[in-house]
A and B are shown apart, each in its own frame.
Chain A
Amino acid sequence: MFEILGKTNIDFMGKWRIAFAFSGVMVLLGIIALVQIARGAANMGIDFAGGTAVQLKFEKPIHIDEARRALESNGLAHAELQEFSQENKLLVRIKAATTIEEKTAEQVMAVFRKEFPDNKFVVESSTEIGPTIGQKLQSDALIAILISFAGIVLYIAARFELRFGVAAALATFHDVLAVLGAFYILDKEITLLVVTALLTLAGYSLTDTVVVFDRIRENLRMRRREPEGTIMNTAINQVLSRTIVTSLTVVIVLIPLVLGGGEVLHDFSLALLWGVIFGTYSSVFVATPLITLWPGGPSRLLKRG
């Protein structure tokens, strides 16, 4: 047998204080990010905030500073530029404040046609979103998040018990917030795709947590005499290699997607990649200790079996 890990006996539960300190910081970042989003101060994509994005592909390389100057001198001062230099692509984003009636996309094209007459370009994509659509999307995204969380807590509570459900939901929140916080710190744009990635990673991180919980449930039924902490530690050690291997296969898949999946999918797969890593960490270091912190009498499951 080829194994990454042999039989391990690591005291995961004992390290919960360090883990919680680290997680606390990440969650705090995530909460700050959430507050900033609610205040409208975060770097929201135009699909939420409304605005215009135009992606142009030029024949010759174009310098981002020259492009910015050209736009500024033509009255488009608030443009955000991003280049994909190996392919001479330029992404111009202008947020909100503009209405579509002003035809910002066409203005941008006109500026480049005028200022760089000998560097022809094709329009790869142009997106214009009115502010009302953005608000609708925001509320839809929020509903989707709430519904899926409610569904998950209910399902896990039914399959295990309430404290497992709550712990799993909290751990999942932790993962989502951590990735959101990381995106916020790196000033990455929160787009609809990123939100989709956050929801997907929530689902994935749960999968991971469930694998651990499942073993804990099994062990709780079999070794009723041992203290809960020991049982949980054993369970984690038992499932450690499968937890790592399952995450590893997803990581293997995501890396090519991050590196070569194209500009549209880059942030999406990056969010998923971080999510998988956080998700693995949290099922071991966050979700499981959370169960033991739950106040209350002896477990219903302990009496069963």
Chain B
Amino acid sequence: MKKVGGRLLALTAVIVASVVFFLPSYPPLYNELPRWLRAVLPDKGITLGLDLQGGIHLVLEVEEDRAVEIAVDRAVVAVQDLLLEKKIPAESVKRAGSSQIAISFQNPDLRSQVQKLLDDFPTYVEVETSGTANSVGWTMREAEIKRIKDSAINQALETIRNRIDQFGVAEPLIQRQGQKQIVVQLPGIKDPKMAKDLIKQTALLEFKMLDEEAQMKVELPGRILKGKDREDALLKQVESKVPEGDQILFERVTQKDGMQEYLIPYLVKKRVMLAGDVLSDARVSIGQFNEPYVSVTFDAKGAREFDRITGDNVKKRMAIVLDNTIYSAPVIQERITGGRAQITGTFSMEEANNLAIVLRAGALPAPLKIIQDLTVGPSLGRDSIEKGVRATLIAGILVVLFMAIYYRLSGVIADFALILNLVCLIGALAALNATLTLPGIAGIILTIGMGVDSNVLIFERIREELRQGKTVRLAVDSGYDKALLTIVDSHVTTLITGFALFLFGTGPIKGFAVTLCLGIAINLFTALVGTKVIFDVINQRRKVEQLSI
């Protein structure tokens, strides 16, 4: 028989370490500790998963094709400008498909002039247009498409991070997943809808001019009731009358009583006069009727542009468009030189706040699609913890009782190992700063059940040895020896499944796998070291004639 002193010491050290690591996970106690002690102790313990503390988990997909389309649309405008500048009378310039530009003209002689324009657009190449003499097609280079898609996701990631930072969430997780997905985890969020809107809003701010001359001819109704189908119906009805280069956008208005929402259609020139990328700041202000609005400040370049645009268009109406919705369409009374503008509309204080945040953080390069959305309210989490803890306690008590009755004193020793098991498992989880999820709690409970398994194997073996008439000391030693192989084999097989779960599981499943694997490893330790030490101590004190097993 080996010396027990060293093993007893190791056992104590493990228990102390577990408690030390666990302490930060239990703030009521941790915060009571004197400061010098807290300085020594680890400061982070187990974090509760979203399913236990509530919050949202989103997987977003960047619509990268849209990012390419947006870039091509911008190039279309640039081509139009260039044609005007060079006085080439082209008929139309359009985006074709997602990455092509089609330029058509009446007079085939213009062809070579148009083709020369390509020199100014190095990211495009000409495509062979079969047979048609009065049109030219360009397509974006593959490398450029790839670059735009790549930068779209990185920019989206950055923008979301900025917005969430400003929104203020404790311990958010924002990371890229795979080629075009972004995972956002916001624990403990009170208003999930608002947070989702904040993340998802493209926040593309544009200033566009109203096409007041053509407005009459299109015969737009004064206002329509809100509704996607009504919107579509109207668009379809007037489609043929809308001049090229114009579009219809809606302003949302709510009646004074706040019950009925209307849409006011406007005919707007597609050309973007100024966009949100020239903003340097956006703040919420309160107007004279106590209504919140957002005032934006342009950077130097933006201010110069805004100055020029307003100067050129005095007495005309300019639409302030955010994500294709008109917020207001004021008449420009005079040249605006200060580099400031106001976005008014019917929004609450919170909405105005969010708008300011998204404008400051910048627009998303392309729309985002939510492909996974898990929202857990705080009440369910509390409920789950309560139930989980209760089930754990009941399960624990039942097992402890069963072992004590079935194996008497030895059962009590196994119960000690079980508690040791739990303490170590929780300590290990805390040391790893693991996230505890609901399946994780199930994993802990399962560990209780399996924790005594090894001891059962050992005890049954010891009983067998005793039956063969061996002395207690010999029976205990050979019982442990013979059970060892079985225990190792059976644990390794479970470990293999746990490992596979860890590698391929996501979120909660991973949490379960971690608890399971840790539980098994700790189990081995407590069964082979923990209980053996106690038996050895008993055997060392006096010669035991009979073992209570």
Q: How far is the CA of A106 from the CA of B196 in the complex (A)?
A: 12
Which B-chain residue is minimally distant from A128 (CB atoms)?
Answer: B373
Judged by a CB distance under 8 angstroms, whether B395 is at the interface is yes
Q: Is the CB of A210 within 8 A of B371?
A: no
Q: How many A-B residue pairs have CB under 8 A?
A: 223
Judged by a CB distance under 8 angstroms, whether B16 is at the interface is no
Complex contacts, B369 vs chain A, CB 8 Å: 100-101, 130
Please give the number of chain A residues whose Cβ is less than 8 angstroms from any Cβ of chain B in the complex. 73
Judged by a CB distance under 8 angstroms, whether B335 is at the interface is no
Judged by a CB distance under 8 angstroms, whether A202 is at the interface is yes
Q: Is the CB of A123 within 8 A of B377?
A: yes
B515 smallest CB distance to A (angstroms): 11
Q: Is the CB of A122 within 8 A of B485?
A: no
CB under 8 Å from chain A, chain B span 442-488:
442, 445-446, 448-450, 452-453, 456-457, 460-461, 463-464, 482, 485-486
**Chain A positions 282 through 294: 1 when the CB is less than 8 Å from some CB of chain B, otherwise 0:** 0000000000000
Judged by a CB distance under 8 angstroms, whether B503 is at the interface is yes
B381 smallest CB distance to A (angstroms): 9
Q: Is the CB of B489 within 8 A of A242?
A: no
**CB-CB under 8 A for A262 and B388, given A124-B379, A203-B496, A211-B490:** yes
Q: Is the CB of A132 within 8 A of B371?
A: yes
Q: Is the CB of A241 within 8 A of B373?
A: no
Complex contacts, B482 vs chain A, CB 8 Å: 218
Q: How far is the CA of A262 from the CA of B391 in the complex (A)?
A: 9
Complex contacts, A218 vs chain B, CB 8 Å: 482
B398 smallest CB distance to A (angstroms): 5
Judged by a CB distance under 8 angstroms, whether A10 is at the interface is no
Q: Is the CB of A199 within 8 A of B497?
A: yes
Judged by a CB distance under 8 angstroms, whether A21 is at the interface is no
Complex contacts, A124 vs chain B, CB 8 Å: 376-377, 379-380, 383
A59 smallest CB distance to B (angstroms): 12
Complex contacts, B405 vs chain A, CB 8 Å: 2
**CB-CB under 8 A for A192 and B509, given A148-B497, A155-B492:** yes
Q: Is the CB of A206 within 8 A of B442?
A: no
Complex contacts, B192 vs chain A, CB 8 Å: 126
Judged by a CB distance under 8 angstroms, whether A86 is at the interface is no
Q: How far is the CA of A202 from the CA of B439 in the complex (A)?
A: 17
CB under 8 Å from chain A, chain B span 419-455:
438-439, 441-442, 445-446, 448-450, 452-453
Q: How far is the CA of A128 from the CA of B375 in the complex (A)?
A: 9
Q: How far is the CA of A256 from the CA of B475 in the complex (A)?
A: 36
Q: How far is the CA of A202 from the CA of B494 in the complex (A)?
A: 8
**CB-CB under 8 A for A241 and B388, given A147-B504, A200-B497, A214-B489:** no
Judged by a CB distance under 8 angstroms, whether B11 is at the interface is no
Complex contacts, A141 vs chain B, CB 8 Å: 504
Judged by a CB distance under 8 angstroms, whether B166 is at the interface is no
Complex contacts, A196 vs chain B, CB 8 Å: 439, 501, 505, 509, 512
Q: How far is the CA of A179 from the CA of B520 in the complex (A)?
A: 24
Complex contacts, A254 vs chain B, CB 8 Å: 395, 445, 449
**CB-CB under 8 A for A211 and B394, given A250-B449, A253-B448, A253-B449:** no
Q: Is the CB of A100 within 8 A of B500?
A: no
B438 smallest CB distance to A (angstroms): 5
Which of A144, A241, A252, A268 is close to B402, meaning CB atoms less than 8 Å apart?
A252
Q: Is the CB of B402 within 8 A of A204?
A: no
Which of B446, B464, B516 is close to A253, meaning CB atoms less than 8 Å apart?
B446
Judged by a CB distance under 8 angstroms, whether B113 is at the interface is no
B427 smallest CB distance to A (angstroms): 21
Q: Is the CB of A264 within 8 A of B384?
A: yes
Q: Is the CB of A245 within 8 A of B456?
A: yes
Judged by a CB distance under 8 angstroms, whether A15 is at the interface is no
Which A-chain residue is minimally distant from B370 (CB atoms)?
Answer: A100
Complex contacts, B499 vs chain A, CB 8 Å: 148, 151
**Chain A positions 206 through 234: 1 when the CB is less than 8 Å from some CB of chain B, otherwise 0:** 11101100110010000000000000000
**CB-CB under 8 A for A269 and B442, given A245-B456, A246-B456:** yes
Q: Is the CB of B406 within 8 A of A245?
A: yes
Which of A151, A152, A214 is close to B485, meaning CB atoms less than 8 Å apart?
A214
Complex contacts, B501 vs chain A, CB 8 Å: 144, 148, 196, 199-200
A162 smallest CB distance to B (angstroms): 16
Complex contacts, B457 vs chain A, CB 8 Å: 211, 242, 246
Judged by a CB distance under 8 angstroms, whether A34 is at the interface is no
Q: How far is the CA of A224 from the CA of B452 in the complex (A)?
A: 33
Judged by a CB distance under 8 angstroms, whether B23 is at the interface is no
B493 smallest CB distance to A (angstroms): 4
Judged by a CB distance under 8 angstroms, whether B68 is at the interface is no
Q: Is the CB of A144 within 8 A of B500?
A: yes
Q: How far is the CA of A246 from the CA of B414 in the complex (A)?
A: 13
B63 smallest CB distance to A (angstroms): 11
Best-surrounded residue of B405, B408, B442, B503 (most CB of chain A within 10 A): B442
Complex contacts, B448 vs chain A, CB 8 Å: 253
**Chain A positions 145 through 176: 1 when the CB is less than 8 Å from some CB of chain B, otherwise 0:** 10110011001100100000000000000000
Which A-chain residue is minimally distant from B386 (CB atoms)?
Answer: A262
Q: How far is the CA of A125 from the CA of B377 in the complex (A)?
A: 5
Q: How far is the CA of A245 from the CA of B449 in the complex (A)?
A: 11
Can you sample 7 A-B contacts with CB below 8 Å? A140-B504, A141-B504, A144-B501, A156-B489, A200-B516, A238-B464, A246-B453
- Which are the 3 A-B pairs with shortest beta-carbon distances? A130-B371, A203-B497, A253-B449
Other than the given A123-B375, A207-B453, A261-B388, 15 more pairs (CB < 8 A) read A1-B549, A100-B369, A126-B192, A193-B508, A200-B497, A203-B498, A206-B490, A207-B490, A249-B402, A249-B450, A254-B445, A257-B391, A257-B442, A265-B391, A265-B439
